[in-house]
Amino acid sequence: MSEATQAALDARYTSVTVALRQRLIALVLQMFGASGSYRDEDADAFVEQILPVVQGAQQQMGALTDAYLSGMVADMFGGAAAARGVQIPQAIRGVPPEEVYRRPFVTIWTALSEGKSMTEAVRQGQTRLTSITGTDLQLVRTEATRQVLAGDSRVQFYRRVLRGSYNCAMCVIASTQRYRKERLMPIHPGCDCGTRPLPAGQDPGQVIEPDLLEAAHDAVAKAGETADRAGNIIGRRANGSLIRDYSDIIIDRQHGELGPLMALRRQDFTGPKDIPGR
């Protein structure tokens, strides 16, 4: 097993996927900005033009993830670094992409109906489009990871790998843990974390980066929680009950479209029951 080879694989994969993400977001925003008056017909034209571009980038992300993980596994266990050929569905959320990429226009229309200026409404639409585009790429990464690791019996565990210059506290803490491959990698919107397989038969235990975990808890403590040196976070829920362990702070939440999301227990997703009049 070559740490140098694995570090090079990590660096290359990070470089090309970050560049892919940045190029795609820049392009969809440019095309969104050229939509004209943002009416129904503009939304229809935008969706028709952008979907082939978006889906091409998603297929590329799947292939890059396949090649990266296949190379990593080959370096760990030996053998050829043969990509498995992952299959990425067009409706990565389980919702027609035509509906998903029309939503930034709905955001604009909603903002205008609330009395917002056109400038502010378009800004909100751009923000939503950026989130949708980046999140879909991460969903593709998750699906490709699931397919590759499920097909190799030598891999039992994986860890999350932080990408980019900035990472939220949830991602940092999660990166200090090891997970079984049977679990889909949790995400949150905007997350750009990756996955790295761990050698089979070498369970390192739940905490694999104790120093980083302690530093993350220190940062959480400064934000209003109290972290003990055993890696536990102590706080109180809204009902006053005591929070004593890691799973009480960072958990998986099932989102209807995005699948498992990483979130604080006090965060909740809205559903039909939260819509007035339902």
Angle formed by the axes of helices 40-77 and 103-113, to 10°?
130
Identify which of 159, 262, 257 has the alpha carbon closest to the alpha carbon of residue 204.
Answer: 159
CA dihedral 13, 14, 19, 25 (to 10 degrees): 110
Greatest mean pLDDT among 142-146, 170-174, 183-187: 142-146
pLDDT tens, 143-170?
999 999 887 888 888 888 887 666 777 7
Max Cα separation, the chain?
62
Amino acid letter for position 32: F
pLDDT tens, 86-145?
999 999 999 999 999 999 999 999 999 999 999 999 999 999 999 999 999 999 999 999
Q: What share of the chain in percent tops pLDDT 90?
A: 42
- Give me the half-sphere count of Cα atoms (radius 13 Å) on the Cβ side of residue 3: 0
pLDDT tens, 212-239?
888 777 766 665 555 454 445 455 555 6
Confidence of residue 275 (pLDDT cuts 50, 70, 90): very low
